[in-house]
Amino acid sequence: MLKTILYIAIGGAIGSVLRYLTSVLVNKYWSNHFPLATFITNILGCFLIGLLLGILEKNNLANSNLKWFLITGFCGGFTTFSTFGYENYSLFQNNNSLVAFAYIGLSILVGLFAVWFGLFVSK
């Protein structure tokens, strides 16, 4: 278990630094009200989690330490939106569309409320 945590921690650190560098690079060339850096990070993260999971499954590595490093660590550090995207994809694939739409709607609405409530409590 400690070894798994180490893989996740290293992958997460790399993902977090890459997320920061993506923001620095995008914001250097784009200054607008639309949060392009976050949007790019989220979409890229969704692509990467799909690509990496596909490659891992194709090579029978879906239950390996590489999965902990790349998926939970790197993609999780880069953006949790990628996991959100994959989980909804899985729900749709398993004919759980109602659950997927509930998850999407609740995540957005409750997430926005939680941000507001956190700001409210901090004042």
Tens-digit pLDDT profile for residues 43-65: 999 899 999 999 998 999 988 99
Which residues carry a binding-site annotation for Na(+)? 76, 79
Which residues carry a binding-site annotation? 76, 79
Give the residue, 11 or 117, on which the prediction is more confident.
11
Measure the CA–CA gap between 93 and 78, rounded to whole angstroms: 25
- For the chain, the structural domain boundaries read 1-79, 80-123
Tens-digit pLDDT profile for residues 77-91: 998 888 899 899 999
Position 104 scores a pLDDT of 95
Q: Residue 107: which pLDDT band, with cuts at 50, 70 and 90?
A: very high
Beta-carbon contacts of residue 26 (< 8 Å; ≥ 6 apart): 36, 37, 40
Contact between 62 and 56 under an 8 Å Cβ cutoff? The reply is yes
Q: Residue 32: which pLDDT band, with cuts at 50, 70 and 90?
A: confident
